[in-house]
Chain A
């Protein structure tokens, strides 16, 4: 054991103070101590992107960030997205466009989408695929994830949105 350190940062707009060993990874602090189990542990080797969180305006893989590196940081996880029972536009996009099947990669996908759309509110399909390449999905084949990002981008730009998967009632009509 090495000497523990105090780390203060903002998690989804709330101040948190943690006492951790320097070797503790951010994903473990989030999941085990702060009960924020939205960010998932997929590979733990910074390949899969399931542990992606937003930190100081960057998408980072929280399995490859030490908690002590988060002093004064602004951290956002999937838990910070829905407000007052209303889904965030990106969550709505993933739901409407079937951007998930098993859902394991989804918190990381949504968190990454958030930062991408902050930087580029109107990305092309090619840009979406290039800038989302750090998040692996083994279910969807990515097609519907691209559509979900496009849906969310439109909604966040204030444009009318329409799902490309018509609802059952509409399909029957």
Chain B
């Protein structure tokens, strides 16, 4: 399995990468970790004439805190997320999610920005980004803009990233102390995409839900934000009945396609179950 011929470019700076992208336009594809794009190229589902490798641009890497935000370079790898002391302490949901992605070798190469920008509903970071209320820095020929995760995912392989733009950074507001979290993912085996998964971030106050974000993986054309379930839970005590109703509301927005992982009904039921589990775990981790 060998890709179609292409020209390879390895820019050393973001301006160089942007210049190449504007020069080659539609003919170019950006290469991040390569574990989605290269398989697609080997199968000839993608046939770019120019491949622009972002792997040699130092400014696209790194994890740091700036004020009340965690800022992560788009080319930061999954294993770097997992091993980050800062993230383990401040954004454990991201670490928990990254640990469930694919296998060790893929996590050395796969990047946060690549996972988000690819627009695959099976990828895990989109739902995690929705649950964390993240935003993305997109650099283009005319400068950069910051776009919230909520609204970024427009369809399968279709995001708000414009042609000519490169995702450079992911910004995550540091969750308040006492925030509970969980990423519950059902997968058939190591390396598989989720049959269904749910990302939850929530805060409790006086025994009721003060704030909650719920997002679902691989049960629709994009990661889905379960707004009705969130609205329902706010202000309620998260007992078994309330969590079951939230899971039912989450299921009501699912529209998964039937494939080898299961049919629509099964995947929808599993999305509900993952929501129920993630809410339960997040509540147990949250300060009361």
> Quick check: B8 and A66 within 8 Å, CB to CB?
yes
Is A65 close to B, CB under 8 A?
yes
Which residues of chain A have C-beta atoms less than 8 A from B105's C-beta? 46, 49, 52, 58-61, 112, 134
* Contact B7 A46, beta carbon cutoff 8 Å: no
Tell me the chain B residues, 1-48 only, with Cβ under 8 Å from chain A.
1-8, 10, 34-35, 38-39, 41-42
A68 at the interface (CB under 8 A from B): yes
- Identify which of A20-28, A77-85, A144-152 touches chain B: A20-28
Given contacts A58-B108, A134-B191, contact A45 B103 (CB under 8 A): no
Contact status of A64 and B35, CB under 8 A, knowing A23-B6, A69-B55: yes
A44 touches B103 (CB 8 A): no
Out of B7, B35, B55, name the residue touching A22 (CB < 8 Å). B7
Q: Which of A24, A28, A45, A59 contacts B104 (CB 8 A)?
A: A59
User: How many interface residues does chain A have, given as a range?
Assistant: 20 to 34
Known contacts A22-B51, A60-B109, A64-B38; A44 and B1 CB within 8 A of each other = yes
CB of B5 within 8 A of CB of A112, answer no
Supposing A45-B39, A47-B191 touch, asked if A134 and B5 sit within 8 A by C-beta, the answer is: no
A16 within 8 A of B: no
Residues of B within 8 A of A23 (CB): 2-6, 41
Selected from B10, B51, B190, the residue in CB contact (under 8 A) with A133 is: B190
B281 contacts A by Cβ under 8 Å:
no
In Å, the complex CA distance between A61 and B105 comes to: 6
CA distance A69 to B33 in the complex (A): 11
Stretch at the interface among A1-9, A89-97, A98-106, A153-161: A1-9
Q: Min CB distance, A132 to chain B, in Å? A: 7
- A7: min CB distance to chain B, Å: 10
User: Is B53 among interface residues, defined by CB-CB distance under 8 A?
Assistant: yes
Using an 8 Å CB-CB cutoff, how does the interface string of A13-41 with B read, 1 for contact, 0 for none? 00000000111110010000000000000
* Inter-subunit contact B39/A2 (CB<8 Å): no
Assembly CA distance A131 to B79 (angstroms): 11
* Cβ contact within 8 Å between A46 and B35: yes
Contact, CB under 8 Å: B8 / A5: yes
Shortest Cβ distance from residue A1 to the other chain B in the assembled complex, whole angstroms: 6
Q: List 27 A-B contacts (CB under 8 A).
A: A22-B6, A22-B7, A22-B51, A23-B6, A23-B41, A28-B2, A44-B1, A45-B39, A46-B39, A46-B105, A46-B106, A47-B191, A52-B105, A59-B105, A59-B108, A60-B105, A60-B109, A64-B35, A64-B39, A64-B109, A66-B38, A112-B104, A116-B104, A131-B104, A134-B104, A134-B105, A134-B191
Q: Which residues of A does B touch, CB under 8 Å? A: 1-3, 5, 21-25, 28, 44-47, 49, 52, 58-61, 64-66, 68-69, 71, 112, 116, 130-134
Instruction: Please name 9 further chain A to chain B contacts, defined as beta carbons within 8 Å, in addition to the given A22-B7, A25-B2, sorted by A numbering.
Output: A2-B5, A2-B7, A22-B5, A28-B2, A45-B1, A60-B105, A64-B38, A69-B55, A133-B190
